[in-house]
Structure 1
Amino acid sequence: MPKAVNPGLLSEAERARIAAAVAAAERGTAGEIVVMVAARSGAYRSLPPALALAGALLVPWPLILLTGLSATRIFLAQLVVALALLLGLAASPCLARLPRALPRFLRRARARAAAQHEFRTRGLSRTRGRTGILIYVALAERYADVVADTGIGTAPEAWQAVLADLVAALRRDALADGLVRAVEATGTILAEAAPPRPGDTDELPNRVIVTE
């Protein structure tokens, strides 16, 4: 499970605002709303080796065409290039920006998988009426998603406007405001899709989960 990130992503006041919005939204629904902000959807540890390998594979062609080096020396040159690229990329501060260099469909697929994983591992699928709902944001990918459990009878299309507004807020660097509006809009949808039931309790914490 990702470890907690430093509080710089959201101030204490912003976290309190979002938690208060969650508490207010849940008073009108049986739904259990959890807000999670991830600095990125994963560590992308496979990227430096993959890029280093790709770079090393390009080495032999100019050496074969332009030099008379033996196969052994060309192999050693490949190895040196691969190691240099691997160490350089792993130590580079640019690694944190690599997700944005990936194709959009790969970033979205990775972030979507991360949202589903967090939904399962953080207990949202174990609420009494299967009414857990996760509002997930991956900042490096500029991705937002809503993952709803089976007890919430809404079509995926119901969340499109919520997500569009949240992604627009991310692009304006207005994360806290976007999350508050997303929670409020989610509460409105849930009030109809999963109205309150007798004996409802607050099963999941209202605090914002922030990870790196």
Structure 2
Amino acid sequence: MSLLSESELQQVADAINRVERHTDAELVTVLAAQADDYRYIPLLWASLLALLLPGAVVFFSGWLSAWQLLLVQWLTFIVLALIFRIDALTSRLIPRSVRHWRACNLARRQFIELNLHHTEAGTGMLIFVSEAERYVEILVDRGISSRIDDSVWQSVVAAFTEDVRNGQVLEGFLTCIETCGSLLKQHVPATHERNELPNHLVVLP
């Protein structure tokens, strides 16, 4: 997990400042270390296996009594729950769809909580990264989506996602901001000076 230094955070803020000089868009960047702690996932797996494995033994051998089966199930659950708490194993137990679903939800919550839907001309734009999930998303308000088709951002997101996978989070942010800035300058040019939202990178633990 990378941790951006103060100087790197300043580079992101400076990049946003440069972009916003030429567009009415309000850019906000968010970096989350992780979208969820997923504590329930190991418990779900432990519960499922504790039900199935001892039951399978009884089915094929029939040597466990009812109370023995219950005891084995509880022991199996406890052991697996402890084993699955190991980070290296936990990450493998979480389906990619679940990780991306949690990151997607967090991105949308941040869009609302940071008031990106309340800008003067509906020109809020969120560049969101959840590092543990290797998830990148760009969300824009109506003032931008009415001028730039959402499909345009797909290649930008794909390139940024690859940077995150390679541990190049800072480089990804700077490239993404610059690319978005070029598009915004062309389609949502500056009409007057304003700065409604903070330009620093919001870092979530």
Output the TM-score relative to the length of structure 2. Answer: 0.89
Task: Kindly state the Cα deviation for residue 25 of structure 1 after the two structures are TM-superposed.
Answer: 0.5
Task: Kindly state the Cα deviation for residue 127 of structure 1 after the two structures are TM-superposed.
Answer: 1.5
Find out whether 1:159 has 2:140 as its counterpart: no
Aligned equivalents of 2:93, 2:128: Cα separation in 1: 21
Q: Could you say which residue in structure 1 is the equivalent of 2:65?
A: 70
The one-letter amino acid of 2:154's match is: Q
Task: Kindly state the Cα deviation for residue 211 of structure 1 after the two structures are TM-superposed.
Answer: 1.5
- In the alignment, which of 121, 124, 139 is matched to residue 147 of structure 1? 139
The one-letter amino acid of 2:61's match is: L
Aligned equivalents of 1:102, 1:49: Cα separation in 2: 11
Q: Deviations over 1:158-200 (max 9, x none)?
A: 11221122122223322111110101111111123322233x4
Aligned equivalents of 1:132, 1:115: Cα separation in 2: 13
Given that 2:116 and 2:124 are in contact with CA atoms closer than 8 Å, whether structure 1 keeps it comes out as yes
Aligned equivalents of 1:75, 1:122: Cα separation in 2: 50
Q: Deviations over 1:22-77 (max 9, x none)?
A: 01101111111111111122121221211111211222211342352211220121
Aligned equivalents of 2:141, 2:67: Cα separation in 1: 57
Aligned equivalents of 2:84, 2:200: Cα separation in 1: 36
Find out whether 1:13 has 2:37 as its counterpart: no
Task: Kindly state the Cα deviation for residue 101 of structure 1 after the two structures are TM-superposed.
Answer: 5.0
Q: Could you say which residue in structure 1 is the equivalent of 2:74?
A: 79
Aligned equivalents of 1:80, 1:103: Cα separation in 2: 26
- In the alignment, which of 161, 183, 194 is matched to residue 201 of structure 1? 194
The one-letter amino acid of 1:46's match is: Y
- Listed as ranges, the matches of 1:51-130 within 5 Å are 51-58=45-52, 59-90=54-85, 92-94=86-88, 98=91, 101-130=93-122
CA RMSD of aligned residues (A): 2.0
Output the TM-score relative to the length of structure 1. Answer: 0.86
Find out whether 1:25 has 2:10 as its counterpart: no
Identify unmatched segments of 5+ residues in structure 1: 1-5
Aligned equivalents of 1:150, 1:164: Cα separation in 2: 22
Task: Kindly state the Cα deviation for residue 93 of structure 1 after the two structures are TM-superposed.
Answer: 3.2
The one-letter amino acid of 2:182's match is: T
Count of residues paired in the alignment:
202
Identify unmatched segments of 5+ residues in structure 2: none
Distance 1:158 1:107, change over 3 A: same
- In the alignment, which of 111, 125, 131 is matched to residue 123 of structure 2? 131
